Amino acid sequence: MQLKDKIVVVTGAGSGIGKALVMKFVAEGARAVVGVDINPETAKQTAADLGCVAMTADVTKEEDVIRIIEETERDIGPIDLFCSNAGIAIGASEQSPNEDWQLIWEVNVMSHVYAARHLVPRMIQRGGGYFLNTASAAGLLNQIGGAAYGTTKHAAVGFAEWLALTYAHQGIKVSLLCPQAVRTAMTANSDDDATKAASNDGMMDPDQLADIVVEHLQRETFLILTHEEVKVYMTRKTSDYDRWIGGMNRLLQRLTGQGS
């Protein structure tokens, strides 16, 4: 996909990866970019900084996702690319409260479902369309210190795979973004086990990530790995699960001092 003259929606656009994607898509000549965020002020700031259209929505609410789609297509035009990027990281373990597990499920998984539910029929009717779903390397591997994050990101990976294999013959294209550690508000000033584990290979700036995303969108590749070492970890995991789990447990002990 070439971004020039396309209409794009990006959720979670108030900061971090979302804001970097908006900036890159505008620079690539998109006809219009809609920057969506749950915080009205950050949505407006992104629009003021980058020249996109600001919208406010809570992606855990299906009616809000419907409104984003309907208002964009009514006021601007048919959506070519929908970037379901909003995400949160809560729920450290199985002991985390049900409310945390439910909220992260709704943000990290159901928001992708809602977007597809209401856009796929429209896109098929007009000959096709594109989804960029943000998951995480945690969805391919897992997340030390982040039970709910790793679990929901696995589900996000599974849904993106299903979406791609189900509608490919009807013109629906899907790319799945699975970064490792990115320098965002989610990771800033954090020294918890999840952040330590994810940043074990270093942090990437959002602008650098956005450049990689555009390169992959142009090639229309399904899996976008911004950190090449993740391929190695995936191979180790699938070739010998027991060894991989043992290695991850040793990493956990090293990061938390439990093994000393």
Which of left, alpha, beta for 182 (phi over 0: left; psi -120 to 50: alpha)?
beta
**Strand duo 53-56 + 81-84: pairing:** unpaired
Please classify residue 138 by burial: count the beta carbons closer than 10 Å to its beta carbon, then call 0-12 exposed, 13-18 middle and 19+ buried: buried
The CA dihedral of 17, 123, 117, 140, to the nearest 10 degrees, is: -40
**Rounded Cα distance, 174 and 164, in Å:** 6
Residue 161 carries which side chain, given as an amino acid letter? Answer: E
Contact indicator for 85, 134 with CB cutoff of 8 Å: yes
132 forms beta bridges with 83, 175
Just list the catalytic residues: 149
**Rounded Cα distance, 118 and 162, in Å:** 16
Alpha-carbon dihedral sign for residues 46, 172, 118, 138: negative
**Rounded Cα distance, 260 and 258, in Å:** 6
> Which segments of the chain does DSSP mark as H helices, in order?
16-27, 40-50, 62-75, 98-105, 111-125, 147-167, 193-198, 206-219, 229-239, 241-256
In Å, what is the CA distance from 221 to each residue of 121, 128, 164, 214? 22, 16, 11, 11
